[in-house]
Structure 1
Amino acid sequence: MAYEAKMQENDNSVIEFIEAIEHPRKRADAYKLLDIFTETTGYPAKMWGPSIIGFGSYHYKYATGHEGDAPLAGFSPRKAKISLYFDSGEADRANLLSKLGKHTAAKACVYVNKLDDIDLEVLQQMIVQSITVLRETYPEV
């Protein structure tokens, strides 16, 4: 049986998704992130799976043979925290995260409570770095 990725780009409406966010501050932060990511990446926003707003895309293929597509950068205004998705590379990640502000981090995600907690210029640097790293790691064929 073939593996099908759960996170695939789709034609669902980004605006309808944001409008469905119940909490007013989280909805306002989502619109602000939409503007920041659109301006910084130069790509239009697309829904990936049911809850990730992604910008641009790349195709990856691992040594195991697993391959798929993913956004170059993105975010998801989840109930608990806002998830930010980017790959800033190991060398710059710690440096940029140290300047970002209040957050928690996992391997590919950074979690923030609200945008007022972080430095938006550093966020933009992380978005740009993600695109650079992913384009170098997975050049288009």
Structure 2
Amino acid sequence: GVALVHSIGRSAGPSATNGWIAKYIFPGGYSPALSEVMGPVEASGLIITDVEILRLHYAATLALWRKRFAANRDAISALYDERFCRMFEFYLAGSELAFRLADHMNFQLQLAREPTALPLTRDYMFEAERARLAEPAE
């Protein structure tokens, strides 16, 4: 089998979670450094077959979420309240900046038990997608 672990993480090494985020948004949450994840994966006996760092992707996602939140703010405020809206806007803007300008990132680890479980390069993913797109729609 093959596993894919996708996580928000940090590139600058282990650090504490922002106090405001820990209190109001993700109590008990923690974004690990890639260095904190590698040791336990290695100890598990699994083989790391691929690592991908998605540097600015989540910053773009958060920017879109913030734009969509703003476009629907009145309806959201009616469902929740003004305090919720202000906190969520602050979270989205601050998180976007953490991914854009600071040390936050997403990473993906591909893991397997056997070194031959996958092709040697990522080309197989592109080939499968190209074949899927070439299939006639039903």
- Flag whether TM exceeds 0.5 (same fold): no
Task: Give TM-score, length-normalised by structure 2.
Answer: 0.29
Q: Greater CA radius of gyration, 1 or 2?
A: 2
Greater per-residue helix proportion: 2
Task: Give TM-score, length-normalised by structure 1.
Answer: 0.29
Greater per-residue strand proportion: 1
